[in-house]
Amino acid sequence: MKKKSPFSSMVRRVSGGWPRARLTALVLALGTAPVAAQGTDDDYPTAAKADYVLGCMAANGQNRRVLEQCACAVDHIASVLTYDAYVQAETMLRTLQVGGERVSAMRGSARHNKIVADLRRTQAEADILCFQ
């Protein structure tokens, strides 16, 4: 059985998502909201970036064009979010997928919701920039 990447939960299929106009409006509306401190490409380990690209390609296709789009997406995420913020949000999403009573406090937490929202907003921006 193929081992699931810890970062694969962060990658979603772009082509089957929201209509582009709706996604653009959402990003523009949320674009004024503050996000985590600006990241740099240098603070993301190469393995983490590669892991994201592999998961993205698994969700969107296995060809050169998708490789470039996925690399663009992770570079955008790295330019906006610090690696620590990215790992926190990814961990939150994995924890929330477990569900149940144990995570109900996390689900209602404004702090945790903001962490996840920052990542989702950044991913939406990356979708618009890279998957056209």
Q: Vertex 36, ends 34 and 38: CA angle to 5°?
A: 105
What gap in Å lies between CA 45 and CA 48, rounded to an integer? 5
pLDDT in tens, the chain (132 residues): 444 444 444 455 444 444 444 444 434 444 434 444 455 556 899 999 999 999 999 999 999 999 999 999 999 999 999 999 999 999 888 887 777 776 666 666 788 889 999 999 999 999 999 998
pLDDT for the residue numbered 92: 86
Give the relative orientation of helices 64-80 and 46-60 as an angle to the nearest 10 degrees.
Answer: 130
pLDDT for the residue numbered 8: 46
Torsion (CA) 88, 56, 67, 38 in degrees, nearest 10: -20
What gap in Å lies between CA 5 and CA 43, rounded to an integer? 20
